[in-house]
DNA sequence: CAGCATCCGGGTCGATACTG
DNA sequence: CAGTATCGACCCGGATGCTG
């Protein structure tokens, strides 16, 4: 909390003091290996299945399907089938996501900015272990 | 980031358009089953090993050790041993965490606020599947 | 095109027992 | 008190092959 705003402390207290903090559930939902990337990609606009598959790089059909199903089931993503031939399915984000996008991006920004420090810390830690 | 600043859109674009978005790495670090809760608990102040073990509820010694090691290795947590008998070890957060606390709390706030909608969506989805 | 079914290897996690 | 060591169950996730 670099710029500790006035109301920030209350927020912090609220989020920190409740013991039924549902953070684990969110992380279970978007903390999977691919869910976050699917969300990010869909945040750029509606996408078709194969579009996502190509955009995400490294994801398998299976995992993409599972991730999409989970997100759809949880109401974060909609799935619309157009009765065309060949079949066409479009995925899009729901309003629920609009409110999580900012925190997610803040997290992503932190990741970019903290990455060097983390890498350095790990190297230092590992070297310390080796000479011990 | 409750107060959406003017540059917010740029942040969004920056976080969304880069393809080397390191979100997965962050999630790998704090997305584990226990790491987030450890961070939250340590956010309340320095804690000893057994204190954490009792506070977190359901965590095993093994998982607590592994989580703490990973966080320590990544520079998010410090571990200080006091040469006492009986042994005494204290864990605390580092400055790196101060900057991730806000996003984490925003996420937690979203979780609390979105939980009902998510639960409802899941029930609706599951019922739809059953009658199909 | 957009999936589902199946198999299978590896890593995660919990339980338990032991140590400085 | 603050861990480590070992074992085993489980689940995630990749590879492959088959459908409407």
Express each pLDDT in B60-96 by its tens digit: 999 999 999 999 999 999 999 999 989 999 999 999 9
Residues B67 and B118 in one domain: no
Residue A62: CB less than 7 A from any atom in strand C? yes
* φ/ψ bin of B93: left (φ > 0), alpha (ψ from -120 to 50), beta (otherwise): beta
Together in a domain, B85 and B129: no
Distance A67 CA to C20 C1' (A): 46
Enclosing domain of residue B18 = 3-97
How many domains is chain A built from? Answer: 2
Q: Are residues A44 and A32 in the same domain?
A: yes
Q: Residue B6 — pLDDT band, cuts 50, 70, 90? A: very low
For residues A38 and A13, membership in a common domain is answered with yes
Residue of chain A with shortest Cα separation from B35: A24
Same domain (yes/no): A82, A115: no
Q: Give the CATH number of the domain where residue B77 resides.
A: 1.10.10.10
Kindly state whether residues B50 and B69 are assigned to the same domain.
yes
Kindly state whether residues B63 and B20 are assigned to the same domain.
Answer: yes
Q: Do B91 and B106 share a structural domain?
A: no
Q: Tell me which DSSP letter residue A79 carries.
A: E
Chain A residues lying within 8 Å of B101, measured CB to CB: 1, 12
Say yes or no: A34 and A93 in one domain. Answer: yes
Contact of B30 with B19, CB cutoff 8 Å: no
Give CA–CA dist B27/A48, Å, rounded: 25
From residue A63, alpha-carbon distances to A53, A84, A122, A126, B26 in Å are 10, 25, 30, 33, 20
- Could you give the CA distance from residue A3 to residue A7 in angstroms, rounded to a whole number? 11
Alpha carbon distance B37, B59 (integer Å): 10
Do B31 and B77 lie in a common domain?
yes
- Same-domain check for residues A43 and A87: yes
Q: How confident is the model at residue B128 (pLDDT cuts 50, 70, 90)?
A: confident
* Each residue's pLDDT tens digit, A68-101: 999 999 999 999 999 998 999 999 999 999 888 8
Instruction: Indicate whether B71 and B112 sit together in one domain.
Output: no
Burial grade of A114 (CB within 10 A; 0-12, 13-18, 19 or more)? buried
Question: Does the beta-carbon distance from A126 to B36 stay under 8 Å?
Answer: no
């Amino acid at each position: 909390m670099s710029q500790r705003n006035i109301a920030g402390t209350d927020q912090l207290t609220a989020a920190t003091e409740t013991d039924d903090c549902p953070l684990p559930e969110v992380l279970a939902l978007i903390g999977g290996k691919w869910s976050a990337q699917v969300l990010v990609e869909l945040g750029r606009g509606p996408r078709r299945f194969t579009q996502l598959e190509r955009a995400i790089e490294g994801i398998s059909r299976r995992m993409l399907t599972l991730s999409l199903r989970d997100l759809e089931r949880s109401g974060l993503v909609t799935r619309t089938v157009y009765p065309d031939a060949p079949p066409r399915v479009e995925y899009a984000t729901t309003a629920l996501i609009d409110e999580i996008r900012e925190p997610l991006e803040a997290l992503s920004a932190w990741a970019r900015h903290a990455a060097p420090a983390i890498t350095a810390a790990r190297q230092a830690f590992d070297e310390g272990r080796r000479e011990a």
